[in-house]
Amino acid sequence: MPAPEPKISVVICTYNRENFLRKVLLSLVEQTLNQALYEVLIINNNSTDNTQAVAEEFVQRYKNIKVFNESEQGLSHARNRGWKESKGEIIVFLDDDAVACKDWLESYLEVFENHKPDCAGGRIEIEWETERPKWLSDTFLKFLGHLDLSDTPQALTKPSLFGGNLAIRKEILQEINGFNTDMGRGKSDLAGNEEIELQNRLINSGKTIYYSPNSKIYHFAASSRLKLSWFIKRSYWQGVSDAKMYKFETSLKPNNKFKVTLNILYLLKNIFVNILRRNSDKTISDILNLSRELGYFITN
């Protein structure tokens, strides 16, 4: 008698993460949920390090783990390959530099069985490789993947979930044709918003989105990202991503170039004033916001 199909498919899209992938996978094989109820799909997106060897090591050890190679570069391409290869009713996306709490999948299964959303996402805490920089305000923790909407589970009416901890029914992904491959991170850029654009399409088509704080993961913040230069680059690419999203999401009202130009001039003035006042926190905040505006202006 053939084994029953898994209820959940975990999709991990990875690119050159051999040093962290093993930790991610260990957190998945140690789940409280029965392994017969879930599968793990590793999507290797053209890695040039030993990612494939690490993945195959786990494939040999665990029957519910599989690895696939996706030649089209980009996170959205890899995610789409993952859900298309899956057998579960619920597709859960996990970043390749994050670890899941032991009851992560059990929590998601409870959410989908009891609340019946089309899409759900959970809390994301930061695992710091080194001490958090003093200049890094809570406002910009989102660039490291941090998400904490509330301690209360709740339905959402606007796109608020992050792709590193996101669950969607497979039938819904089939219906909306998955992630927009013109959005999301590529080989060397820091683009994003593919999960926001997807949630916009879900909301516009009447689908339900749910926040589950107990479906928690820890996202790794490497020391290489805890530098102002990285945050400036990340802010710039956020502007690029926002401009791209407005082109696909017609219900949103994009900022015109005149308004963006005024924002840029306003921020430049603020930066100059705050440097004179030696207000370093406000200066850094304005520099990051300026970088975002420049990315938006150049792309729009």
Given 163, 186, 221, which residue is the final one in a domain?
221
Confidence at residue 186, expressed as pLDDT on a 0 to 100 scale: 81
pLDDT of 187 reads 72
Q: Are residues 161 and 114 in the same domain?
A: yes
**Together in a domain, 29 and 142:** yes
Query: Which residue range forms the structural domain that includes residue 125?
Result: 8-221
Are residues 183 and 74 both part of a single domain? yes
Q: What's the CA gap between 97 and 141, in Å, rounded?
A: 16
Instruction: Transcribe 208-268 into DSSP letters.
Output: -EEEEEEEEEEEEE-GGGSSHHHHHHHHHHHHHHHHHHHHH-TTS-PPPHHHHHHHHHHHH
Residue 2 lies inside a defined structural domain of this protein: no
216 with 284, same domain: the answer is no
Domain end residue (candidates: 221, 241, 269): 221
Of the candidates 40, 164, 149, 167, which has an alpha carbon nearest to the alpha carbon of residue 112? 167
Query: In tens digits, what is the pLDDT along the chain, a chain of 300 residues?
Result: 566 789 999 999 999 999 999 999 999 999 999 999 999 999 999 999 999 999 999 999 999 999 999 999 999 999 999 999 999 999 999 999 999 999 999 999 999 999 999 999 999 999 999 999 999 999 999 999 999 999 999 999 999 999 999 999 999 999 999 999 988 888 778 888 899 999 999 999 999 999 999 999 999 999 999 999 999 999 999 999 988 887 766 555 556 778 888 889 989 998 888 888 888 888 999 999 999 999 999 887
Query: Do residues 169 and 242 both lie within one domain?
Result: no
Tell me whether residue 163 is in a domain. yes
Q: What is the CA radius of gyration of the chain?
A: 20
Residue 257 lies in a domain: yes
User: Given this model, what pLDDT does residue 2 score?
Assistant: 63
